[in-house]
């Protein structure tokens, strides 16, 4: 049997390559930073809410449309799973309505975004042929460390003195700056494969450390900016908007890869036909742009008509948080198993 060596792995993570991050990741990161800075410039402290909700509805709707194909085709297990996930969404939302669990929801979304990024990494390195587990040993280690980091960042004021000395904690933003310095050191060592025994044959580890540094740097920069009265949002908003852009960039990559492949001669009808159109480059772009235009129109209408409670249920960040919980919870639905040779 011939061993499959992914083209993306050879080209992106070869010995002659210094940068371990994929262009799609860097584009998503740059788009996120520019969009949130523009939002802060145009709408001040409320700019992040405008962006998160305005871009959020199209992301949630598109994700659910492709998930709904399973509900249409598989009326048994798929609908049963969806009902259970919907009940879980209601339970989490009800708990949040009784007592603010925003920190828990933040960590919940961190898990969702991280899982998607690991999956996207594997798909890119295998030219979109990956069919393995998302959380293998390395993925689980990354999940645990990132979740702990997210939790500690939310509870840093309660870190024991023997872990983080009070004298250092008295320095403004000391926790973030120390974390940023450590992340930069690890990322630099990983990029130059020092020591080689650890980083030489671990491209995923190198990518994870470089990505982690960029996110920690963004979190630190945003916090420093807010302390200097620059209206940048909390890091949660950055992570959510990055997730939107990452998903768009990744799907456009998949669509481009599919363009040269032979499609089935069967002509789909109804809902499948609609999804096939949305799955083309032009269809995806037109539908996404139209949805974003409608969504931002709703957000701006809500901002102009603050007394309109029914608009607030759809376009205020307070209630849109429940939609994000629904989106994350539904993503736990079991994925259909496809043969390894099938294109993604």
Tell me the per-residue pLDDT of 312-343, one tens digit each, with 9 for 90 and over.
899 999 999 999 999 999 998 877 654 443 33
User: Which tokens sit at 275?
Assistant: 């999804």
Rounded percentage of the chain residues whose pLDDT exceeds 70: 81
Rounded to an integer, the average pLDDT of 257-265 is 64
Residues in the chain: 344
Taking the CB of residue 40, how many other CB atoms lie within 10 A of it?
Answer: 21
pLDDT above 70 for 262: no
Rounded to an integer, the average pLDDT of 100-125 is 88
The rounded distance, in Å, linking the Cα atoms of 338 and 70 is 13
User: Which tokens sit at 151?
Assistant: 């939790």
**Residue 278 and residue 287 in contact, taking contact as beta carbons nearer than 8 Å:** yes
**Residue 135 and residue 115 in contact, taking contact as beta carbons nearer than 8 Å:** yes
Q: What is the pTM of this model?
A: 0.84
Q: Could you tell me which residues come within 8 angstroms of residue 65 by beta carbon, excluding any fewer than 6 positions away?
A: 275, 278
**Residue 232 and residue 37 in contact, taking contact as beta carbons nearer than 8 Å:** yes
Please, which pLDDT band fits residue 271 given cuts at 50, 70 and 90?
confident
The rounded distance, in Å, linking the Cα atoms of 186 and 268 is 50
The rounded distance, in Å, linking the Cα atoms of 329 and 267 is 33
pLDDT in tens, 168-224: 555 567 777 888 999 999 999 988 888 888 887 888 888 999 999 999 999 999 988
Higher pLDDT, residue 5 or 167: 167
pLDDT in tens, 289-306: 999 999 999 999 998 887
The rounded distance, in Å, linking the Cα atoms of 109 and 303 is 26
Which ranges of the chain does DSSP label H, i.e. alpha helix?
7-12, 23-43, 47-73, 77-98, 102-125, 137-154, 166-169, 174-191, 196-199, 203-227, 235-258, 270-278, 281-304, 309-315, 317-330
């Amino acid at each position: 049997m011939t061993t499959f060596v992914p083209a993306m792995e050879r080209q992106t993570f070869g010995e002659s390559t210094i940068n371990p991050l994929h262009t799609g990741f860097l584009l998503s990161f740059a788009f996120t930073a520019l969009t949130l800075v523009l939002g802060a410039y145009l709408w001040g402290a409320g700019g992040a809410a405008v962006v998160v909700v305005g871009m959020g509805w199209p992301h949630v709707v598109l994700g659910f449309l492709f998930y709904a194909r399973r509900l249409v085709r598989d009326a048994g297990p798929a609908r049963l799973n969806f009902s259970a996930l919907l009940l879980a969404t209601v339970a989490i939302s009800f708990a949040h309505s009784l007592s603010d669990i925003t920190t828990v929801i933040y960590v919940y979304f961190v898990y969702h975004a991280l899982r998607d990024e690991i999956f996207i990494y594997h798909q890119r390195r295998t030219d979109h042929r990956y069919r393995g587990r998302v959380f293998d040993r390395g993925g689980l280690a990354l999940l645990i460390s990132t979740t702990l980091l997210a939790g500690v960042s939310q509870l840093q004021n309660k870190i024991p003195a023997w872990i983080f000395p009070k004298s250092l904690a008295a320095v403004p933003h000391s926790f973030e700056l120390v974390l940023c310095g450590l992340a930069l050191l690890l990322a630099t060592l990983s990029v130059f494969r020092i020591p080689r025994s650890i980083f030489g044959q671990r491209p995923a580890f190198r990518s994870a450390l470089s990505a982690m540094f960029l996110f920690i740097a963004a979190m630190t920069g945003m916090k420093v900016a807010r302390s200097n009265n620059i209206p940048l949002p909390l890091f949660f908003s950055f992570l959510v908007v990055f997730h939107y852009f990452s998903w768009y960039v990744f799907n456009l990559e998949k669509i481009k890869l599919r363009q040269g492949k032979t499609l089935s001669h069967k002509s789909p009808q109804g809902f499948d036909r609609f999804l096939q159109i949305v799955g083309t480059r032009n269809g995806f772009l037109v539908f996404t742009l139209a949805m974003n235009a409608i969504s931002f129109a709703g957000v701006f209408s809500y901002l102009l008509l603050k007394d309109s409670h029914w608009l607030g249920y759809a376009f205020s960040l307070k209630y849109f948080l429940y939609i994000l919980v629904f989106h994350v919870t539904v993503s736990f639905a079991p994925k259909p198993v496809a043969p390894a040779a099938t294109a993604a």
